[in-house]
Chain A
Amino acid sequence: MEFSESSRSWSAIPDWASFLIRLGIRVGQVDPGCRRIYLVSMPCESAAAGVIALGALLHRLSLKDSNDSSSHLARLRSLASENEPEVFLVHEVHGSGFRPEFKNGILWGRRDPIGNKSMTRIAILPNNSAQWRVNGEPAVHALSGSEIRFQSLYDHLSAGISEAFPSNYSLSDSGVCLAGRVAGESISRSVYSAIRFRNGCGHTDLSSLLTVHAWSPGTISRLTYFNSRTGQFDRQTGLTRVVIADGDTAFLRVLDVPDFRTCDILGVIQKTIDRGSLEAVGVKLADLAQWYAADDERTENLGAVPRGVTISSLRRR
C-alpha cells in the first residue's frame, strides 16, 4: 500500500497518516451511553480531518448493521408526514418526480399526471423501500455497478485493525459525517484530493474514498457531508453517530448544530492560526468542561502520537 501527497512521489503510508487512520477507527467506535468530544491539533495545514473520517468510515464498514436500510422506510414515512414541498422521491425503475404521501394508512409514492401520462401511485412497503431514494441523495443500496469502488484499498487500509463486512460495500450509511472547511466544499475537496493511495489493484484519492455523494455521485455513499459554510447537509437522515469537523470554525459551528447534539464530535485544528482563533476554541473547551471530563482512555494504545500533534478527549460526565 502506498501514499502520495500533493503529487509527490509514492512512498509507504507515513506514520502521521497511519496514526490518524487508527484514530479515526477508534473514534468511530461510538459508545451510545456516553458522548465524547475530541480535539486534534495539527502542526501544519493538512487533510487530517479527511484521513480521520476515512478511519471512522473503515470502522463503520466492519459493522454488520451499519447502513441506512433499516431506518430508510421510517425516514420516508417521516418525510411524508412533514409534507415538504421540495422533497421528491426517485424510484430505481420508474424514475423521478414522486412525492411521498399517506393514504389509507399506507405510504405511497405519487407522481402527478404529466402530458398524456396518467397519475402514478406506488405503495412503499418494507420489502421495496430500498428501491426508493430521496432526490439528490444516494441510493440506500447499490444497483448493479454502483457498489463502492476501490474495495481492495479499503481492505488494505484497515488490514489488521478491522475487517469490512462485504455487504456494506453496496449499502449507503450515514453514521459518519464530515463537516468540511468553512472556506467551502470545493476547497475541502481539493485538499482531500491531494492525498492519494494505491496498491496493486489501482489508485485513487482521499476525496473518492470518502464517498461523499456529490463527489462520487454514481455510487452508494458511506459518509454524509455537512457544509460548514452554508450550514447545509447533503442528506439529513438523523442517523449520524460521529462528526469529524475540519478546522476551528467548522468545529465551533458543529458544536452548535442541533442535529449533532447527541453525536460524538472530533475537531481538527491546526496550530498555525492566529491567537484569536485558538482562544475561541480554548474558550469553548473550557465551557464544555462543566459537563465533560478529560478522557485519555480512548486515545491510548494507538501508538506514539506523531511529534507536533496534540490530542484532547472529553467524556460526558
Chain B
Amino acid sequence: MGVTASEVFEYLCQERAFLIERHEISSALFSELRRGVWQILLRIREQDDPTSREVADQLGAHLSEWLTVPIPFDQSMSESLCSLGTPEVVQGRWGLDVRSLYETAIAAAQAVQSQGNLLRSELREIIGHLKSTSLSFRIFCHTRAQFYFESLFEHTLSNEFPFLHSVKDYRESSPFDVLIKVGPLRSRGWGSTPDALITAPRFSRLLQVVWSGCADEQGFGYDPCAAQRSGSSGAKTQALQNQIISWTHEIIRSGDLGPSSDTYPSDLDELTQLNQHAHASEVRAATLIQVSDGFGILYPPHSQVPTFDANVPSDHSIGYRLPGDTLAKGMFVIWPLLGDADLGKLRAGEGHFSTIWKERLRNAMLHNPEDLLRRLSVAGIELVNLYSCVKHWCKPASTVIHAPQQRRHFEILIQTLGITHEVSTASRTLRRPWWQYAWIEIAQTRGEAIQTGVQEHEIIDEQLFLILMEYLPDIRRSAAAGSDFSFTIPTGKTLKGIVFFYPALSVEEGFRAPDTSLKQLCELDTLEQWRA
C-alpha cells in the first residue's frame, strides 16, 4: 500500500476548495484542419467497403491523437494525411468533393506547421511556472504520450516528478497540489482518465489544457453510490450533497482568432462524435494486455486468461486470472501453440507454410514489385497502402506471422503467387487448398481457436497446466529474467507443441473491439484503432 487511507482522509479533510482550471486553446488554422479531416472521415465512413471504413478509423485515430496528446505540429501531420494517396487516387476512390476536402486539409496541415502547436506553448508555460513554485504536481497521460510532454523541455521531466498513466498509478499516489491533464475529461478512449480524479481527488487544482470544442464527457466523475441515490429520489438529498466533493470551474481562453474573425472559432466536438459512432458499431468492451514492446492482446470482460505468476507459491502460480483484476503487470500470459490433429504431418515445424509463401513473396517483390502490386490490386486487394502492406507481409515471423488481416486477401495473395500443393504430397490426406493450411498457421499464431468449443479449450488448458506444473522449476528459472520465453512440451505428453510466456507489461481498460480482434496477438498500432 503506497498511500494509507489515513493520509488520504487527512488530506481530504484539510482541503476546503477544489478547482478545475480549464485552459481552452483556439487556433483558426488547426480548426480548419480539424474540420477538413472530419468532413473527409464522415464521407468515406459512409462507403460500404471495409477499406474505406479502415481509412476512416485511421483518420479518427489521427484526430483523436492531435486533440489529446501534445504532439508537435510538424511534417508527420501532413505525412499521416498523405498516406491516403495522391489527390487523383483519392478522387478516383471517393469522388471529387472528398478530393477537394483532402487538398484543403493537406494545405491546412502544412500551414499549422508554421504556427506550431499552441497547446504545447501553453503547456510549456504552465509547467515552467509550476516548476518555479514549490507546488508539487503530476501529469496524467497515456504511456505513449509521455514522450511528447518530455519533449517540451530539454531534459526529462520524469526525473523531477512522476507521470500518472493509469487508475492504478493514481490509486497509489500520495496527495499532491496540481494535476495537469491535456484533453477533455473522458472515462474511455483517447486521453481517458479515471473518474476518481473528480470523486476522490488527491489534489486541489486540476489544470486542464484542451482544444476548443472538446467538451468533458457528460457524467464524468461517476460514482455508483451517488448515481443510485440521486436517481432514486429524483434530486440529490442534503446528506448526499454533503458527501459529494464539489468543484469550482474556471475557464481561461487563449489562442489566435484567425484572419477574418473577432471571436474564437466554434469547433466541433469530434471526440464525442467518434465515441458515439464507436458505441453504435458491433463491438464490445475489451482490456489490452501489452506483452512486448510492440504487441498486445485484447481480452473481453471477465476473460479467464491462462497465466503464470512467478511470485506466488507453486500450487497457485499457474492458473486462470482476470485481466485488470487478478492478472496484473509482471505476470506472464501463457500462449500455447499446440499441435492440431487436423494438421497432422503437414505441420513439419513452426512457420512451415509461412517460410514457403514469404520466400515466394520476397522474390516477387525483388524482381518485379510493380507487376505483383498490379496483379494483387486487380485480383481484389484494395488496400490504400498496398506497397507498405506487402513489404510488411515480407517481414520474417516474430511473435506473429505478418500476413494480411483478412482471410480473403490472403487467399488472393497465395493464388497470385501461384502456390499450390506439390503433386507428390497432394495425396488423399490433403483435403483443402494450400492457402487454407497456411491461413490456419497464421491464425494459430494470432491465437484463434485451434479447437472448437469452450469445453474443449478448458480440457486442453487443464492438461496443459498439469504439464507445466510438472516443469515448474524450469519455467521459474526461465521467468527470472522477466522477459518472454518459450517452453517446448517434451515428447510423450498428452499435448505437443510450444508454449510461449509473455510478460504482461501493462494492463489497460478502455477498448471496444469486434469479436474477430479479441484474443489475438496483434501489433499495438493495429489495436490502437479499437481504443474506445
Contacts and interface: CB of A to CB of B under 8 A. Distances in A.
A41 interface: yes
Given A14-B9, A308-B12, A309-B243, A294 B233 contact: yes
Contacts of B223: 41, 271, 278, 310
A137 interface: no
B6 A14 contact: yes
Interface stretch (B101-109, B234-242, B513-521): B234-242
Interface residues of A, number: 53
Interface residues of B, number: 47
B387 interface: no
B9 A271 contact: no
A5 B237 CA distance: 33
A64 B243 CA distance: 36
Interface stretch (B62-70, B195-203, B359-367): B195-203
A289 B228 contact: yes
A213 B245 CA distance: 40
A92 interface: no
A271 B326 contact: no
Interface string B220-233: 00111111110111
B6 A306 contact: no
A305 B242 contact: yes
A271 B4 contact: no
A276 B225 CA distance: 15
Contact of A270 (B171, B233, B326): B171
Contacts of A16: 5-6, 9
Interface stretch (A44-52, A159-167, A215-223): A44-52
A242 B222 CA distance: 27
B195 A271 contact: yes
A249 B326 CA distance: 11
A307 B242 CA distance: 8
Contacts of B188: 275
Interface string B62-88: 000000000000000000000000000
Contact of A307 (B13, B171, B225): B13
Contact of B4 (A8, A281, A285, A310): A8
B231 A286 contact: yes
Interface in A43-66: 43-48
A304 B239 CA distance: 9
Contacts of B226: 41, 310, 312
Given A275-B187, A275-B195, A306 B13 contact: yes
B137 to A, nearest CB: 19
A293 interface: yes
A42 B196 CA distance: 10
Nearest to A191: B1
B225 A43 contact: no
Interface in A208-263: 229, 249
A23 interface: no
B522 interface: no
A43 B6 contact: no
A184 B326 CA distance: 9
6 contacts: A14-B10, A43-B196, A44-B9, A276-B285, A294-B232, A310-B244
* Nearest 3 CB-CB pairings of A with B: A43-B200, A282-B224, A46-B5
Interface of B: 1, 3-6, 8-10, 12-13, 167, 170-172, 187-188, 194-196, 199-200, 222-229, 231-233, 237, 239-240, 242-245, 285, 301, 322, 324-326, 509-510
